[in-house]
């Protein structure tokens, strides 16, 4: 195996965005729901993109409100994208340690928001490519965005690893034929990450795990 590319999920993997998303959700549903949403509740909802997040939040009885609530969300979130969002501990030093690899971000957040967030937190320069939910016709857990990154960088599945905190990341990677590394500190319970090739508790363990995946298999 010759890993040359590392594809990272964004929310819950590189950056803790739960507080800013929660504030935006509470603003967006304020006229329609009687209660505030907690960060813990937000964490259970995120992962499939904003449209699906709002659908789950509103429930079947309020589906007609979806477009209005989504517009309110995007208006607020765009203006408060990084009030509280910060990289997880060890992210910057890990990206610097992995300077010899090509790196990409693949998020189910819209591309323009993903780019703005990475720019604001001074992480963009570490990545060769940044794709969001609207960059490709399908989003994770579909393998198509992973395959598109490989195609754009002229690489094969055996040359890449997908790193993420959710089963959507792991499924997208597995279906695309790339190695998968799950991080346990993100927004999903570790029990849904068991199909990953490797699970790590700290992003700083990633370089060593990639070295292990790259190691030649010895015949016994």
Indicate if 158 and 183 belong to the same structural domain: yes
Cα–Cα dist 199/171, whole Å: 14
Q: How many structural domains comprise the chain?
A: 2
- How do 102-106 and 5-8 pair as beta strands? parallel
Note the pLDDT of residue 32.
87
In a domain, 220, yes or no: no
Indicate if 100 and 34 belong to the same structural domain: no
Residues written for the chain: 220
Indicate if 49 and 149 belong to the same structural domain: no
Known catalytic residues are 9
Indicate if 56 and 124 belong to the same structural domain: no
Res 130 pLDDT > 80: yes
**Sign of the four-CA dihedral 20, 195, 170, 46:** negative
pLDDT, tens digit (0-9, with 9 covering 90-100), for 63-92: 888 899 999 999 999 999 999 999 999 999
- For 182, phi then psi, to 5°, come to -100, 140
Indicate if 68 and 96 belong to the same structural domain: no
pLDDT, tens digit (0-9, with 9 covering 90-100), for 12-46: 999 999 999 999 999 999 888 878 899 999 998 88
CA separation (Å) from 34 to 51, 122, 156, 211?
Answer: 21, 37, 50, 51
In a domain, 133, yes or no: yes
Residue range(s) defining the domain that contains residue 37: 18-79
């Amino acid at each position: 195996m010759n890993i040359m590319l590392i594809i990272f999920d964004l929310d819950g993997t590189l950056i803790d965005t739960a507080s800013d998303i929660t504030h935006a959700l509470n603003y967006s549903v304020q006229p329609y729901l009687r209660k505030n949403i907690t960060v813990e509740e937000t964490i259970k909802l995120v992962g499939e993109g904003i449209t699906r997040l709002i659908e789950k939040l509103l429930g079947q009885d309020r589906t007609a409100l979806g477009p209005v609530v989504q517009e309110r969300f995007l208006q607020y979130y765009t203006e408060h994208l990084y009030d509280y969002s910060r990289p997880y501990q060890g992210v910057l030093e890990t990206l610097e340690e992995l300077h010899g690899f090509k790196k990409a971000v693949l998020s189910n957040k819209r591309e323009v928001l993903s780019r703005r967030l990475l720019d604001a937190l001074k992480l963009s320069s570490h990545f060769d490519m940044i794709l969001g939910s609207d960059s490709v016709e399908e989003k994770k857990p579909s393998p198509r965005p992973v395959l598109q990154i490989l195609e754009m960088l002229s690489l094969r599945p055996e040359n890449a690893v997908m790193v993420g905190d959710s089963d959507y990341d792991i499924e997208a990677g597995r279906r695309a034929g790339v190695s998968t590394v799950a991080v346990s500190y993100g927004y999903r319970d570790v029990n849904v990450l068991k199909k990953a090739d490797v699970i790590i508790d700290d992003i700083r363990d990633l370089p060593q795990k990639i070295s292990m995946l790259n190691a030649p298999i010895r015949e016994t």
